[in-house]
A and B are shown apart, each in its own frame.
Chain A
C-alpha cells in the first residue's frame, strides 16, 4: 500500500508546505488561550486557526459543520489534491476516518442545549454534528466520494487500525483508493480532564525523550492520506507493515525511528526499550501538540522525509537518557522509517514506511 497524497491541518497551517515549514523551523510556542468561566486562567494549546485558511471554498460549503468536521474535510481534500490524481469521479474511493474523541466539543454543546433550553428545544443541527460519523459524511458529500465510508475510534491506536483496514480494502479490491486519516479537536472539558490526569508542560514544550515524568501540551488537527495499490513516481512512500501488539523481528533496521511520545501517558519509558541502538530517533509531537492520534502526524512527517530524502531534526532535544537523536536537518538517503507508539495498557504499535 502506497501513500500517494498527504493532507494536513494543524496549528501551523494547512498543507504539506506548512508541514515542511514547521518541521524545518522546529519547536514554536503554543497559543495561550483563556479557560472558560475562569477569570485570568490560561491553558497552552496548539490550536488550529481556520480563519487563516486561505481558500474558503470548502469552509463555506460546510458552514453548518463543526470545527472537527471542517478540519477533517480540509485535510482530506488536501490529500486528494496533493496526490495529483485527476478524474476521481470514476474511481472507487473509500474513506476511513479515525478519531480518539470525535465530536466531543459538539456533544458538550448539545448538553448545553439540554441544560439551557430544555430537552424539547435542543438544536437538531448540533445533534447531527455531534454524531461520530458526521465528519466522514462531510468529507463524502464535499468531495463527492461514494465508496465505503467508515468512522472508527480506538483511542491511541485509531489511526493504526485505519491503515490496517485500508490495506485490507485495497487488497480485496473493495476500493481503488482509500482516504484514511485521523482527526481530533481540542476542547475545554477534555482539556480539564487531561489536566487532572497528566502533567502540563509549563513552558509549552513537549519533551518526547524525557520519558518520565512526562508533560503534555494539547493539540488538534487532522492528517489524511490518499492510499493506493499502485504508486506513481512522485508518491511519498509505501506503508510496508503495520503491527499492533507484538512486533515481529525485522532484519532490516530502519534509517530513522520516530516515536509517538507526547506526554499523553504519565510514563513513557517503554519507548526506551523500543528504540534500536544506534538508529537516530526523533518525534515531532512538539510541533503538533499532544494528541491520541499523534501517530498520523508523525507518519505525515515520515512520509515527507522519505519522499524528499531529507530529514528534519527532532524539534526538542532534551535527552536525559542519551538516546541518539536526529539532531540535524538536511539531505539524507533513507529507505525505511519506523514509527512506534504505545497505549496506556503498554501495547505497542509499529508502522514501517519504505521507499526504494
Chain B
C-alpha cells in the first residue's frame, strides 16, 4: 500500500517543511499554557498561528485535523474525492468526549445549559466530520484507543485496503490540548514541570502537546490510475494488549513485543532490516524503561532510535499519526533529528536514542505507540528507492 501524501501540524511546525527545520535546528517550542486558564504549572507544546480559515469555534481538534488533511491531500494530488472509495480513519481522545467545562458548570448550577457545546460534540465526531467535509464516500471510523489511537487508525486503514473496503484511506490522528488530560495526567504524577527528556536517566515525565498527523494510503493500482506514485509504502502493522494494568505497561513489554513481531511478520522482514525506530518515548519512567528494553531485545542495542516527543510533546490521539509522518520523512530524506531532551544514558535501558542529527539508510522504519489500558501498536513503513 503506497503512502502518497503526508500532512502534519504540531508545535514543531505547521507543516512538514517547518517541522524539518525545527528538527534540524533542535528547536523546542514548549511554553506556558495559554489555550485555557489553569492553576497548574506545567508547560505545553501548543500549536501557534492556526490559520484563520481553519478556525472552528470550540472544535480545535477538527481544525488541526483539517489542516493536516488538506496538506496530505495536496501532497497526494488527490482532489477528485467522489471518484474514489475513500475511507477516513482517525484517532483522537479529546474530540470523542463532551468535556466542555463551561457547559457542565452551567448545567450543574442551573440544571439547564445552552446546547451549543452539545451540538458541537454531536456534529464533531472526527472521522465523520472530515469525511463529510471533503465528501468521502468510503468507510469512516474514529479510533479512541488513547495514546495509540493514531497508530491504530493507520493499522485499520491497512486492514480496510487489504479487505477491499475502499481504495484510498485518509488515516492518522488529531488532538487538541484540553483541560481534562491536562489535569488528569497531572493527577497521575507523570507530567514534567520542565522539558521532557525521553529515555534520559533523569527523565521526570511527559509534556502534553497537540496537533495532527495524516497519511494518504492507497492501493498501488489506484495510484497508478490516478497517475501518481510514491517512494513510501505501508509495509506492516501490529497491535497487542498487555492484559496487565490500566495505566502501567507490562514490565516485560509483552504486548509491545507481540506488536512489533506482528508488524515485522506482515512486512516479511527481519529486525536487522530496520533503519531506525521512532519510539513512543514519552519521557515517563515506566514507558521508556519498558520500551527501551523491548527495542533493545528485538532490534539490538545498536539500532538507531529516537523520540520526537521532545519537539511536539505528547499529542495523545494524534501522536501515532504525527510520528508515523515523521518516520516517513526520516526514511525519505535519510536523516533523523537528535532525540531532544536526551543527555544521560539510563543504565537500566540497554540502548540510547540518537543525540544528534543522524543519517539513516535502509528500506524500513518503525513507529511505536504504547497506550493507556495496555494497548501497544507498531506501524512499519518502507521506502522503495533507498538513497
**A interface footprint on B276-307 (CB within 8 Å = 1, 0 otherwise):** 00000000000000000000000000000000
- Smallest CB-CB separation from B373: which chain A residue? A137
Q: Is A107's CB under 8 angstroms from B99's CB? A: yes
Say yes or no: B139 contacts A145, CB within 8 Å.
no
Contact partner of A111 among B99, B186, B242, CB < 8 A?
A: B99
Q: A136 CA to B188 CA in the complex, in Å? A: 20
**B246 pairs with A128, CB closer than 8 A:** yes
Are A124 and B139 in contact, CB atoms less than 8 angstroms apart? no
Distance in angstroms between the alpha carbons of A143 and B374 in the assembled complex: 14
Please name all residues of chain A whose beta carbon is closer than 8 Å to the beta carbon of B139 when the two chains form the complex.
Answer: 161, 164, 244
Residues in chain B near residue A129, CB distance under 8 A: 246
- Find chain A residues with CB under 8 A from B112 CB: 192
Contact A146 B258 (CB under 8 A): yes
User: Is A152 an interface position by the 8 A CB rule?
Assistant: yes
Partner of B144 from A37, A112, A153, A244 at Cβ < 8 Å: A153
Judged by a CB distance under 8 angstroms, whether B125 is at the interface is yes
CB within 8 Å of B: which A199-215 residues:
none
CB atoms of A124 and B184 under 8 A apart = yes
B214 at the interface (CB under 8 A from A): no
B residues 172-204 with Cβ under 8 Å of A? 179-180, 182-189
A119 at the binding interface (Cβ < 8 Å): yes
Which A residues touch B258, using CB under 8 A?
A: 146
Are A152 and B97 touching (Cβ within 8 A)? Answer: no
B184 touches A144 (CB 8 A): no
- Chain A contacts of B144 at CB under 8 A? 99, 102, 132-133, 151-153
Instruction: Classify the secondary structure of A's interface with B.
Output: helix
B96 to A102, Cβ gap below 8 A? yes
> Contacts of A165 on B, CB cut-off 8 Å?
141, 156, 159-160
Q: Interface size for chain B: under 10, 10 to 19, 20 to 34, or 35 or more residues?
A: 35 or more
Instruction: Judge whether B54 is part of the interface by a CB distance below 8 angstroms.
Output: no
Find chain A residues with CB under 8 A from B377 CB.
Answer: 148
With a cutoff of 8 Å between Cβ atoms, the chain B residues found around residue A345 in the complex are 132
Contact (A122, B187) CB under 8 Å given A133-B146, A148-B240, A155-B122: yes
- Knowing A148-B239, A152-B141, A154-B125 are in contact, say whether A192-B162 is a contact too (CB < 8 A): no
Closest to A36 in B: B111
A115 within 8 A of B: yes
B244 CB-CB contact with A under 8 Å: yes
Known contacts A37-B108, A140-B242, then 6 further A-B pairs from the complex at CB < 8 Å, ordered by chain A residue: A104-B98, A120-B39, A137-B373, A147-B241, A150-B143, A165-B141
Q: Report A's interface with B, CB cutoff 8 A.
A: 37-38, 95, 99, 101-102, 104, 107-108, 110-112, 114-115, 118-120, 122-124, 127-134, 136-138, 140-141, 143-155, 161, 164-165, 167-169, 171-172, 174, 189-190, 192-193, 196-197, 244-245, 345
A-B contact pairs, 23 of them (CB 8 A): A112-B108, A115-B101, A115-B104, A115-B108, A119-B186, A122-B184, A124-B184, A124-B187, A127-B183, A128-B246, A132-B144, A140-B243, A141-B243, A149-B240, A150-B152, A150-B156, A151-B143, A153-B144, A154-B141, A154-B142, A155-B122, A168-B163, A174-B159
